[in-house]
Every structure is written in structure tokens, then in C-alpha cells.
Amino acid sequence: MTIETLREQNPGLKLYCVTDPEFKPYGRVLNGDTAELASVLEKTGIPAAGNCYVASDESLEKVGLMKSMKRQAFGEMEIQAGYCNGRGFTLNAMEYHRCSEVNFTTTGLVLLLALPGQLEDGRLKSEDVVGFYLPENVLVEIFPMVLHFAPCRVREDGFRCLVILEKGTNTDIDGIDTAAPGEQKLLWMRNKWLTCHPDSPQAKEGAFVGIVGENLTLKI
């Protein structure tokens, strides 16, 4: 799949590549030898339907590149490395963290992103969401507070996506309260603030409903 083909299939979605200048407000491409990382990530499974998320995977955390990522993207804070693999192709929800997130893929994928300033009192217009194609074997840092969620597949057999975050992110919390004031109503897990579309599985699970407009889907 090429970015040109994706644009042809999705004329209503703003689509760029992470190497395009349009990506600069959202993140940056990182340097590093990814051969070992690719080999380990390729051994992780893709579910037959939907997506799966593993926050911490020991085999990925042992990859030599993690030492560099810990320094480059997290300023030597403790990190966890896991993966989000699957066959998803729908926006559904958007989340953000107070830390960066590092992504890498061996399959290619599209990241749906929005800028912090586009979120107002937990509400986001889906028309403000932009798609960025992440090619195989390219490391990217998504900046803190940039809205994102599970990647979208660009081929029928799904995607594999590395997810590096500060340690403890995306672990369970007590006392979720979507009626709380301000940003507190979005707090869904540790270091994870989330807003979702009314038609999403997350809405059925009780997450704050704040995405207005079409529940975007990526056609391939």
C-alpha cells in the first residue's frame, strides 16, 4: 500500500506520511538501528478480528534499541515497551498522555492524530483528525498531549505496532468519573485521558463521549 493509493481510497480524509512536513506539529522521526526490533515485533501475533494491546512485553523490552529510546524520547524516565496489533480501521476514540509515545511497525499502518488545541472540554470534531502513514521500519515519536488511538491497518492481514510509553501508563485506576469537572472526566487509565465517538465500543464501556461528526474509517 502506498500513500497515493490510500489518498485515492479516502478522498475525505487528510492523509500525509510521517516524513512530510505536516507531521512536525504531531511528532518526529527518530534514529536507530531497528533490525533487532523488527525481528522481535514480527513474532507477536495479530488477532483474527479487532485489536489487542499488550502494555509491557519482556522480549521487546530486552531489545538493545530500548536504551536509546529511553534517552531520546523519555529523558531517562522508566519506560515500558509493548505492542498494539490488529485489523482495526475505525477512529472510535482518541486518547492522550502526558508523555511521548514511540511507534514502529513491520507492516505499515496509519495513525489518526489531532492536536491538543483542537480538544475543547473533552470534545473533538472528527473533521480535525488527520491521518499519517507510517511505513515499515520507521521509528516515530508522537509528542505529549497529541491525540491518537489504535492504528488503522493498510493491508488485509492487519498491522503490528510497537508502543513505548512511560512505565505504568495504560494501567487500571480506581474511580473513573465521566461527570467530573474539566479534564478529570477524561481520565480512563493511568496517564491516559480518553474521549470517544457515540458509536464506539468505548462509549458502551462508559467512556466520556466527546467526538462529534463521522466515526472515520480507513478504506484500503
**1: pLDDT strictly greater than 90:** no
Backbone angles phi and psi of 57, in degrees to 5: -125, 120
Rounded CA gap, 136 and 156, in Å?
16
- Asked if pLDDT for residue 61 goes beyond 80, the answer is yes
Q: How confident is the model at residue 134 (pLDDT cuts 50, 70, 90)?
A: very high
Alpha helix ranges (H) inside the chain: 3-9, 35-41, 58-61, 65-74, 201-204
Question: Strand, helix or coil at 195?
Answer: strand
pTM of the model: 0.97
Determine the average pLDDT of the residues in 22-38. 97
Instruction: Provide the mean pLDDT of the chain.
Output: 97
Q: What is the pLDDT of residues 31-60, one digit of tens each?
A: 999 999 999 999 999 999 999 999 999 999
pLDDT at residue 2, rounded to an integer:
86
Mean pLDDT of 27-32: 96
Residue 19 to residue 79: CA distance in whole angstroms: 25
Q: For residue range 190-211, what is the model confidence (pLDDT) as tens digits?
A: 999 999 999 999 999 999 999 9
Q: What is the pLDDT of residues 170-183, one digit of tens each?
A: 999 998 999 999 99
In this structure, the number of other CB atoms found within 10 A of the CB of residue 51 comes to 19
3-7+14-89+101-171, CATH topology level: Jelly Rolls (2.60.120)
